[in-house]
Each structure stands twice: as structure tokens, then as C-alpha cells.
Amino acid sequence: MSGAAAAGAEEAAPAKVNLHLHVTGRRADGYHLLDSLVVFAGAGDRLRLEPAPGLSLVLEGPEGAALAAEPDNLVLRSARLLAEHAGIRPHGRLRLEKNLPVASGIGGGSADAAAALRLLDHAWGLRLEPPALAALAARLGADVPVCLENRPRRMQGVGEVLSDAPALPDCGMVLANPRLALPTPAVFRARRGDGTPPATLPAGWADARAMARDLLACRNDLEEAAIGLCPAVAEVLTALRALPGCLLARMSGSGATCFGLFPSASQAAHAAELLPKAWWRWGGGLYDPGRAAYSAQAGGA
């Protein structure tokens, strides 16, 4: 039946990684203006939908317990917003396999919200035009529009201005989090200094080494503030830089997750296994829409 929740429907919610993040200014309403090159890693959450008369959310996966205390997860907010826009009653049992740590700077909640919009737009038979779906995404959070697209993008404005990213080479990535949540508002409040101009990036890179060389001229303007609030971020960065083959290490978003860039996915998967087992860590390649599943831990290439 048109508009009914489709049995077995699912969507990937890959981790968002800011290869650089410049705070370029601030609007009169207090929102910060950003410039960032965003990519998606092969680690992520997964959202499934089952038929049900009412709307509900079941939390699963190794990181699901961290969200158990939240009565109104972003996934539910996305579903209700979409249903309100379409003038229908929200329905379906959503199952969120939570593999990404919460409040970790890799867009876990934003990716989940975006996955809910994509999944329910299709399952409910709405087929909204991309601009309409993007407008709803922007109402849910600054990172939701870029997560809605799930592909490398240059992100500017307060997150709503998206443009083509440089052509990316084959590369690998390690993600590491010391299992400490770092709320975004607190990091922005702790930031000091003037705005940083937008990065100057080429049309593309021939290999990972060339990409890392250019990205070294960029920065994450929130990194210093994050380290002040959570000194373990500096420990993670030091550990990543010491890994064999690491070309660049930097914090993603507002932290505390940091990434290391590697020449290949296999090198990254091997390197992740060398990090402390007490951390959340993952190593592999960039997001591939053809992947059937995610691995939440080291070696998940």
C-alpha cells in the first residue's frame, strides 16, 4: 500500500569526517560560519524500518546504550518533521544499530537523522524533491544536510551551503575516540581567536600523500578548545601520528574523535589495531554505498 512502511527497508548512516574545519566568522544571530571539506568513512550506524501502526525507535548495537536515556532521539524528530511536512501520520518501527560513539564529532546523530529522512521519504512513498528534503535536514542540525547527501562535499555557511569537493584519491582512514563525549556547544564557547579564511584547495589530488600535504596547510579551528576541555584529544592525536604510514592526523568536527589519513584502506585497518583497545577505534577506507555492513572496531576495512 502506498505510504506504508516497507518491510526490511534500511539506510546506512556513515561517519562524517571533517578533513579541515575553519571557523570563518559569525552571523548576527550567533551562529558560526564554517568552511570544511567533509568525507564519509566506512564506519557508521545503520537504520532499519519495520511495519508498525505507530512510530517507535529501538536502539541496538554496541553504542546504543549511550542513547537509552534520550526520549526524543534525532531519528524520531526527523520522522515527525517529515510526516508533518507531508501531512501524514508517522508510522513504523525504526531500529537503529548504533556503532558510532555519541557526541564524538563524526556526525553520528546527524547521520542517523539524515538516514531517517532518506529511508522514510522512500518507504512512505513521498519522493520529495531534493531541495525540499534538504530544507527539512537544515532544520534538524548543521551537519544533517551534508549527511543527507552521503558523499564528499565542501561545506560552508552554517552547514547548508554545499558544493563539489576536490576529486579524492584512494586512501585509508583511522578513526579513534578516547570514549569521552565532548558536547559541541561547549567547544564553540571555549574557542578563542579571530576567523580563519576559507581553505584554498585544488580540483583534485593524484594520491593520498598529495592530499595530506595540502591539508597540512589547513586546520581544525576547534581543536585547541577541545583539547583544553578534554586533554585526552591530544593523546589520541599523538598516538595517531605515531602509527606507521600516517600522513596526517587531525580532530574531526568538535571532537573528541580524531582521524589519521593513510595511503590505503588496508594500511589503515592494520594501524587501527595498534591503538589502545580501551578506545573506540576503526580503520578502513572511505564510505562505499555498496557495502552491506559496517564494522565498529579496529580492522573494519
- For the annotated binding site for ATP, the residues are 101-111
Beta strands in the chain (DSSP E): 9-26, 32-50, 55-60, 92-97, 153-157, 161-164, 172-177, 248-251, 258-262, 280-284
Q: What is the 3-state secondary structure (H, E, C) of 133-170?
A: HHHHHHHHCCCHHHHHHCCCEEEEECCCEEEECCECCC
- The closest alpha carbon to 153, from 283, 20, 33, belongs to 20
Name the residue with cell 589520541: 236
192 close to 145: Cβ distance less than 8 angstroms: no
- Catalytic positions, written as ranges: 16, 143
Does residue 285 sit in helix, strand or coil? coil
Give the whole-angstrom CA distance, residue 126 versus residue 114: 15
